[in-house]
Chain A
Amino acid sequence: MFKRIAKYALASLSVALVIGICQPAKADALADIKAKGKIVVGIDPTFSPFEFTDSAGKVIGYDPELMELAAKGLGLKVEYQVMAFSGIIPGLIAGAFDVTPTINVTAERAKKIDYVIPTALSVNAVLTLKETSVKSSGIADLSGKKCAVKQTTQPEQMMKALNDKLKAAGKPVVDLLGFETIEQTIAALADKRVDCVVDDKSVLFEAIDKRKDLPLALAGEIGDAQPIAWAANKSTPALTAALSAELKKLKVDGTVTALQKKYFGYTMALPETDFIPK
């Protein structure tokens, strides 16, 4: 009896080891994806209006709609793999999926992942309660305050960079609390755990609109505007190029502009070259 149990235990252990040792399969060519007929998209659909879910749980938004059109152009279906944002870039690098939308373009990230041409421009903003001690969205006025951000996102990293400047100037830093979703950062603000929330401006706009029950107010923008793009694994340049080509087509025929009006209410001119910051 014990021998048998030991045998099963040993067998499951060795399976676990083999799975652990095997590198996740990387789609090494566009041809592989085309042969499967689907493109696997890693996504954290909690970033409205860029990417979110409808009441039925279906992934929708500006980027999913564009992604599905681009995939259709390549004769592919889209399969979503939903996960928290903190798992998205590590998952992409590990080859857990083919592409992910709505990634802020940064020089640091560009060393590890490839970007398709940008689909949007983003600027971060500061959200507070209507009655607040935060005088403006300027970093000097945020010094010493508590701010909620989403863990491992570009707004968090931007705030950390601004904190380094505050530190260098001998001023108190902004105390950053990192959460998993935008709702949680808003809840922290509503419960007065923090003085402000820093996130993408369009996301904060949407939050104000959705949470009319809360006395939310936009204090203003913070930091520079940044391109947002889809990202792919560095080992799949053919896929990245094909998606860029499809996006260009969708820009030429006016689809991108129409979708920007639909989801953001305004349009933006998007760069196609030299969009990665130095």
Chain B
Amino acid sequence: MDWSDIIPYLPDLARGFLKSIEIALLSAATALVTALLLTLASATGNAIVRAIVAAYTEIILGLPILVLLYVIYFVLPKFGVRFDETTAGVLTLTLYYSPYLAEAIRGAVAAVPVGQVEAARMIGLGELSILARIVVPQALALMIPSATGILIGLVKDTAILSVISVEEFAYVTKQVVSHTYAPFETWTLVAAVYWVTLALFETLMRGLERRLSRFRPKVEFH
């Protein structure tokens, strides 16, 4: 094992890592916004809107993300729709992860006890106040565990963007391996970086969850 082979390529790897982080943050933001829109759309009374959301969700859940990426990047241009590599990647991650996030949001909102909303109405709180002061704060805390898992999936899946030449972490890693012929050392290092990053993210989300749910009574198991 010769770790020194990798040293000249550390700046390249760092650049790839930052590109992955950039794509992950961008995709997470767009996916969360899309998920919120999906949740709102399926909460409306309009049957057509709900049917469209349901159909979209079914289609996305039935596609492997790699296939979705290939369709967006290689098939859509035949129909005159062309995205550059990074945009196609962010779009894929957004389309793929927003239905899962929407489900996490829906579940969290549904878990807020109806009785609280009814009680709030009884004491004369407005609907917006109920949303802002009762439903959202609790739902946020409730959705964090499942949303964290989904977002971790999103971060890991940024690696598949390497197949359409987005120069993110996995793409750069393959390039470095092809120069150093040190697959063991390079992939070990890269795996450790992915793992530490995601472990850090998970810890942050746990902290956030604790902070957001500090008013909730703890459930004890016996």
Contact = CB atoms under 8 A, between A and B. Distances in A.
A132 interface: no
A14 interface: no
A187 interface: yes
Given A187-B74, A191-B77, A111 B181 contact: yes
Classify chain A's interface size.
20 to 34
Contact of A177 (B77, B165, B174, B175): B165
A89 B178 contact: yes
Interface in A130-153: 148, 151-152
Interface string A91-114: 001100000000000001101110
Contacts of B177: 86, 90, 152
Interface string A191-228: 10100000000000000000000000000000000000
A90 B165 contact: no
A191 B162 CA distance: 19
B85 interface: yes
A80 interface: no
Interface string A239-271: 000000000000000000000000000000000
Contacts of A191: 74, 77, 82
A176 B202 CA distance: 36
A152 B180 CA distance: 11
A237 interface: no
Contacts of B183: 90, 93-94
Contacts of B165: 148, 151, 177-179
Nearest to B76: A191
B163 interface: yes
Contacts of A93: 181, 183
Majority secondary structure, B binding face:
helix
Interface string B157-194: 00000111100000100110111010110000000000
Contacts of B163: 179-180
A135 to B, nearest CB: 25
A184 B77 CA distance: 13
Interface in A58-98: 86, 89-90, 93-94
A12 interface: no
Nearest to B74: A187
Nearest to B78: A191
A94 B182 CA distance: 10
Interface in B65-89: 74, 77, 82, 84-85
B85 to A, nearest CB: 7
A86 B178 contact: yes
A211 to B, nearest CB: 14
Contacts of A111: 181
Contacts of B179: 108, 157
A162 to B, nearest CB: 16
A16 to B, nearest CB: 13
Contacts of A177: 85, 165
Given A108-B179, A184-B74, A94 B174 contact: no
Given A94-B184, A179-B163, A179-B165, A152 B74 contact: no
Interface in B128-167: 162-165
Contact of B181 (A109, A151, A157, A193): A109
B82 to A, nearest CB: 6
Contacts of A112: 181
A151 B164 contact: no
B88 to A, nearest CB: 10
A157 B178 contact: yes
B122 to A, nearest CB: 41
Given A152-B174, A187-B74, A89 B82 contact: no
A152 B164 contact: no
A159 to B, nearest CB: 12
Contacts of A89: 178, 181
A108 B182 CA distance: 12
| Residue of A113, A148, A178 with most chain B CB atoms under a 10 A cut-off | A178
A88 to B, nearest CB: 10
A231 to B, nearest CB: 11
A164 to B, nearest CB: 13
Nearest to A89: B181
Interface of B: 74, 77, 82, 84-85, 162-165, 171, 174-175, 177-179, 181, 183-184
12 contacts: A90-B181, A93-B183, A113-B181, A151-B162, A151-B174, A152-B174, A157-B179, A177-B85, A179-B164, A179-B165, A187-B74, A191-B77
- Which 4 A/B pairs are nearest by Cβ-Cβ distance? A90-B183, A152-B178, A112-B181, A177-B165
